[in-house]
Structure 1
Amino acid sequence: MSGGHIDFNKTKTFLIDTTKCTGCRGCQVACKQWNQLKAEKTVFFSGEGYQNPPAMSEYTFTRIKFRDYQKHGQNEFAFYKEMCMHCNEPACASVCPVGAFKKTAEGPVVYDEKRCIGCRFCMVACPFGIPKYEWSKAFPLVRKCTGCYSRVKEGLQPACATACPTAITYGNRADMLQEAERRLKSRPDRYFQAIYGKEEAGGTSVLYLTHQPLDELGFKQVTKRPLPSYTWQALRLVPGIFLGVGGTLSAITWFQHRKERIRREEEFKNSRVKPEQKEEDQ
């Protein structure tokens, strides 16, 4: 769901030109720093590519993916930044029974952890496989790229876009689409003639330009139809009484889950207080 009517032409959008990406991973570092994400202990994995970490997680919101290919008989590398696509009509928001996800007028799709009941429908619904669960924690929540919403609200650019020396341009979606079209037209020899994200999943706030065909780089093929339409199409097949009961049960579950989570968190915090601190408090 989104916060009222949104003019998608004005939503802030990433234009990521993979032909200009050097694989420096500056965006990964900036994302870690701004979001205060822990480092992960990883191992080198070359099954899918040479990227590291091998997958996004609760501690990694973005990463540079490596693809090797042949060009004029020589081995070459291609890189692209994997991140939340911040869909215009996000599937994660449409399936969330408690409205924990929301598309903002500024562009980012944000997540309210206070609403989350841990159902993980968002993880199933996302066609790009972005939301991740905090498997390492006793009281897990969902984590994903925030689009640096706190920065964007203040008129700043996301941390990754600020750190990138060559490949990321950030601005209104209409302007980013116009710039992408200009590059395709002016350098047809340089670019594969497609803008990934222009129509995928109904359009996204992340656009890509590439030199190689999209499937060779590993971009996911998704429908161009907004995914929430599939959600509601499926729900229409369910008798209304079950939807009513389901909605009521979701509300009850949310309140119970939230109350229980708060209680457990308090117990967990109290258990970590040192004995001398408890005596001082008394």
Structure 2
Amino acid sequence: MSSSTANFDKTKAFLIDTTKCTGCRGCQVACKQWNQLKAEDTKFFSGEGYQNPPLMSEYTFTRVKFKDYQKNGQNEFAFYKEMCMHCNEPACASVCPVGAFKKTAEGPVIYDAKRCIGCRFCMIACPFGVPKYEWSKAFPLVRKCTGCYSRVKEGLQPACATACPTAISYGSRAEMLKEAGKRLKNRPERYYNAIYGKDEAGGTSILYLTQQPLDELGFKPVTKRSLPSYTWQALRLVPGIFLTVGGGLSLVSWFNHRKERIKREQDQLNGAAAPENKEVDR
């Protein structure tokens, strides 16, 4: 897969200015509400700052990370929103054997649970560690931020961008890059001279501006090259027998997964449709 960054200029993108983030976590709440995600019993994670939940999960698609640092001898906090990066050329889509992931024309990378076989290749391929497995379920699937695709395709902004009072801008990727460049030029003393997401992994739909060097905030160093090109180079080195056997097992797993899912849905429908006929114990 090969595309120039210009092909994605019209897709929607987030510009997250960490210098304006107050750590209110309104984006976390909005994400939970819109996606109807369960609350988690969480605790502060020792050594990882004050963010809570400590990690993204099947129930947490986004979180605000808290980072301690020192400035002029004083302890300070920096905050930034962690979420799916919605890569221009997503590695998760390139390795999925059943096409459960798709980069949309609007920008978000979406996921089709009905196709998923639970192989978890996407979790291994993602350089940002975003897709999470439903470890709590008997028939687990993968969960991640959808970029509020159902809202975006109707002309609305994602829930987190709507809720954020200060730090998140949302628009075409070209506009967000232009705005980021303008802020860097006009306030060089305020910003570290980099736009994270502009070129990382071939470019993403999430763009960050920071005050501190990226590595100090915990941003992962990622190749500028589009990751699907690495994917196919790696697959060429895998013996054909493993791909054949793996593909066969994936197909069997998919059929079993689908059969169990259909059965569960049918049982739920039958249960909802059945009239109440309860005997009273005497």
Alignment of 1:111-260 (within 5 A): 111-239=111-239, 243=243, 246-260=246-260
Shift of 1:277: 3.4
Q: Partner letter of residue 94 of structure 1?
A: S
- What does residue 15 of structure 1 align with? 15
Q: Could you say if the C-alpha distance between residues 173 and 236 of structure 1 is closer, same or farther in structure 2, counting changes exceeding 3 Å?
A: same
Deviations 1:236-276 (A, max 9, x none): 22455664565455334322331234335555x48977997
2:117 matches 1:95: no
- What does residue 27 of structure 1 align with? 27
Contact conserved, 2:88 with 2:103, CA < 8 A, in 1? yes
Contact conserved, 1:51 with 1:65, CA < 8 A, in 2? yes
Q: Could you say if the C-alpha distance between residues 170 and 241 of structure 1 is closer, same or farther in structure 2, counting changes exceeding 3 Å?
A: same
Q: Say which SS state the counterpart of residue 76 (structure 1) adopts.
A: strand
TM-score, length of structure 2 as denominator length: 0.90
Deviations 1:127-175 (A, max 9, x none): 1111111111222111110100000000000000000011000000011
Q: Partner letter of residue 201 of structure 2?
A: A
Cα distance between partner residues in 2 of 1:113 and 1:216: 36
Q: Could you say if the C-alpha distance between residues 119 and 166 of structure 1 is closer, same or farther in structure 2, counting changes exceeding 3 Å?
A: same
Contact conserved, 1:51 with 1:66, CA < 8 A, in 2? yes
Unaligned runs of 5+ in 2: none
Unaligned runs of 5+ in 1: none
Cα distance between partner residues in 2 of 1:18 and 1:181: 15
Deviations 1:209-258 (A, max 9, x none): 00000000000111111111111011222455664565455334322331
Q: Could you say if the C-alpha distance between residues 57 and 239 of structure 1 is closer, same or farther in structure 2, counting changes exceeding 3 Å?
A: closer
Cα distance between partner residues in 2 of 1:146 and 1:12: 13
Q: Partner letter of residue 128 of structure 1?
A: F
TM-score, length of structure 1 as denominator length: 0.90
- What does residue 51 of structure 2 align with? 51
Cα distance between partner residues in 2 of 1:217 and 1:152: 29
Contact conserved, 2:119 with 2:250, CA < 8 A, in 1? no
Cα distance between partner residues in 1 of 2:275 and 2:186: 71
Contact conserved, 1:65 with 1:80, CA < 8 A, in 2? yes
Q: Partner letter of residue 90 of structure 2?
A: P
Cα distance between partner residues in 2 of 1:101 and 1:91: 10
Cα distance between partner residues in 1 of 2:211 and 2:21: 11
Contact conserved, 1:51 with 1:64, CA < 8 A, in 2? yes
**Aligned residues between the structures:** 276
Shift of 1:96: 0.6
- What does residue 276 of structure 2 align with? 277
Q: Partner letter of residue 190 of structure 2?
A: R
Cα distance between partner residues in 1 of 2:217 and 2:165: 22
Q: Say which SS state the counterpart of residue 259 (structure 1) adopts.
A: helix
Q: Could you say if the C-alpha distance between residues 236 and 76 of structure 1 is closer, same or farther in structure 2, counting changes exceeding 3 Å?
A: same
Report the identity percentage. Answer: 82
Cα distance between partner residues in 1 of 2:246 and 2:133: 24
2:69 matches 1:69: yes
Cα distance between partner residues in 2 of 1:71 and 1:238: 49
Q: Could you say if the C-alpha distance between residues 98 and 274 of structure 1 is closer, same or farther in structure 2, counting changes exceeding 3 Å?
A: closer
